[in-house]
Structure 1
Amino acid sequence: ETCLRAIQNGGYDYFSKPFDLEEMSIVLKRALYRQNLERKIQRLRLQLEERYNFASIVDKSEPMRQIFETIRTLAQADCTVLLRGESGTGKELVARAIHYSSQRAGNPFVPVNCAAIPENLLESELFGYEKGAFTGATTRKLGKFELASGGTILLDEIADMSLAMQAKTLRVIQERTFQRLGGTGLMKIDIRLIAATNKDLEELMRTEAFREDLYYRLNVVSIYLPALRERREDIPSF
């Protein structure tokens, strides 16, 4: 009972009498390895937070200063965010800053470029699959939703999703559950969703190329990132 309490309070292991010196040596080496590993993880985590915090965002212009204040507040909330703006305006950088300044910072940030993944592969990338789910599925693979559990997933270029994939993504947002391809059971996930697009979603809704119900689920908080030509003060001078 004393040993159990010691481990619950942070102890690595315990020894029973009579002590075996060889066993003690092995356990101590493992404990030191674990301690060094934890320090490396903490150091890498701090490096990530420093690299992707708000200081990495240039905000000399008035529009960016306003956006800066908005995303600083958003980081402490846990709501869905829709980032809008042309390609190259820094949408992924803003998404990372929100994640690494939030309470989820210690968990994964998983970006997915929906436009870069072929339609026939996007579903398995997002949801994962079980062994034998289809030809070539020789092992189980975890999807992006599952890998992001506890953290944040960025669905970049979400407007490029097919209507069928939009419907499946909507179900994940609504129910906070998903099913691997070839799986039979629903799995719960705890994620923060950030979506990004360089397209006019309202126009796509009018042409029925984007689901209205998904739009309203994503558009809880919308941030428009102006193009650099609209904020020349943010362009570094050399």
Structure 2
Amino acid sequence: MSLPAVNQLLSFPDPTSLARSHRAKALLFHDRRSLELLEHVERIARSEATVLVIGETGTGKELIARHIHKQSGRKGPFVAVNCGAFSESLIDAELFGHESGAFTGASQARAGWFEAANGGTLFLDEIGDLPMPLQVKLLRVLQERQVVRLGSRRATPLDVRLVAATNIDLGAAVEGQRFRADLYWRLSVASVQLPPLRERPGDILPLARHFIELYGDKLQLDEVALSPEAEAALLAYAWPGNIRELENVVHYALIVCRHGVIRPQDFRFVPLRGRPAPAPLGPLPPHGDPLASTALPGRCGAAAPEPVEQLLTAFEALLAGGQRDLFRTVEASLVRHAYTRCDDNQVQTARLLGVTRNTLRTLLKRYGLLGDGGELTGEADAAGEPALTH
């Protein structure tokens, strides 16, 4: 089967209503791994299998669930519920409904989210937060395809496809007796491993340009472009907050950039302590699946890549993308970042980069960072030579 079209965009029907949401508001499939993911998602969407979407926060799990619903051909509604948004005392009634007088304050009968999604798809986000007693009831609903409201003895038949999502290791939760193994296997009939943004670098620049267009229109800006150095900076960053963080970084850069060009100094990166490891993999998919995992439940994901490995990944993306003047782009980005980090102090920058002051001055002049009036401080440089002053 051929891969889907490059740059297919998934977004919410009204992304402007999610301004304060932590969710990713767009998925754009350009990277080869993303295209394989999309083909895998569209293949399982045509079945009626329950789906478990696994991925870090901000990777676009709800967008994947919405695409599964759209591709499934189901005529009913798509209903999204965050299992972590309700108290343990309320989530039972929210999911399964209640009759009048079932508990204090239940003045009238009310259908739950399962009934609301009848004929369509129910998306349960943060399924790992579901309390153990409700896990038993959810398992029964999935097995019997019917729901019983609180305070009622009558079962209501259901035609609902369930898509669940998690950013925690459910296998480890099963081992720790915080999640039922039988429910885990029932949920993961078909699993989707959604890679973090740092593992699909080919998507970074297309997504950045999408957000530039989106927020550029809102800010009533003329056409705004990314400088080559800015592109290199985006590709070199680890994106612990994934697509949602990329959106915020681009939005801020549009606000502060000048002359219609975004430069590295316009980005406000806020790296988290202890970069998150890739989300744990789910159960073994069918043999021959392009995204097949060899991880068993309970195994941790691979360790996060080291900075040099991230840099190599960025180089690979630049080389594969046919970046023009690649050497100058990378060299200029490194020099600019180091110079900014050292508050434009040439001696400290030379020491940080491990070059002599004369080499640094040549680089600064080459990239327009040093005019005729540039000065060095009265310190010795990294090579131990006396500093020059003008």
Unaligned 5+ runs, structure 1 = 1-47
Alpha-carbon distance between aligned partners in 2 of 1:66 and 1:102, rounded to the nearest angstrom: 18
Matches within 5 A, 1:94-113: 94-104=64-74, 106-113=75-82
**SS state at 2:57 partner:** coil
Alpha-carbon distance between aligned partners in 2 of 1:237 and 1:155, rounded to the nearest angstrom: 29
Across the aligned residues of Structure 1 and Structure 2, the Cα RMSD in angstroms comes to 1.8
Residue 152 of structure 1 is matched in structure 2 by: 121
Residue 94 of structure 2 is matched in structure 1 by: 125
**SS state at 2:29 partner:** coil
Given candidates 157, 160, 185, the residue that maps to 1:188 is: 157
Question: 1:232: how far off?
Answer: 2.2
Question: 1:100: how far off?
Answer: 1.3
Identity %: 48
Residue 59 of structure 1 is matched in structure 2 by: 29
Given candidates 131, 146, 153, the residue that maps to 1:177 is: 146
**SS state at 1:69 partner:** helix
Q: Does 1:237 align with 2:208?
A: yes
Residue 63 of structure 2 is matched in structure 1 by: 93
Question: 1:186: how far off?
Answer: 1.1
Larger Rg: 2
Residue 33 of structure 1 is matched in structure 2 by: none
Aligned pair in 2 of structure 1 residues 50, 184: CA closer, same or farther (>3 Å)? closer
Q: Which amino acid aligns with 2:208?
A: S
Matches within 5 A, 1:1-238: 51=13, 57-104=27-74, 106-235=75-204, 236-238=207-209
Q: Which amino acid aligns with 1:101?
A: Q
Alpha-carbon distance between aligned partners in 1 of 2:208 and 2:64, rounded to the nearest angstrom: 22
**SS state at 1:215 partner:** helix
- Answer whether contact 1:107 1:150 (CA < 8 A) is retained: yes
Alpha-carbon distance between aligned partners in 2 of 1:100 and 1:119, rounded to the nearest angstrom: 31
Question: 1:184: how far off?
Answer: 1.5
Unaligned 5+ runs, structure 2 = 1-9, 15-25, 210-390
Is the helix fraction higher in 1 or 2? 1
Question: 1:50: how far off?
Answer: 9.6
- Answer whether contact 1:83 1:91 (CA < 8 A) is retained: yes
Q: Which amino acid aligns with 2:115?
A: E
- Answer whether contact 2:11 2:27 (CA < 8 A) is retained: no
Flag as ranges the 4+ runs of structure 1 deviating above 3 A.
48-52
Q: Which amino acid aligns with 2:33?
A: P
- Answer whether contact 2:11 2:63 (CA < 8 A) is retained: no
Greater RCO (CA < 8 Å, at least 6 residues apart):
1
Q: State the TM-score, normalizing by the size of structure 1.
A: 0.75
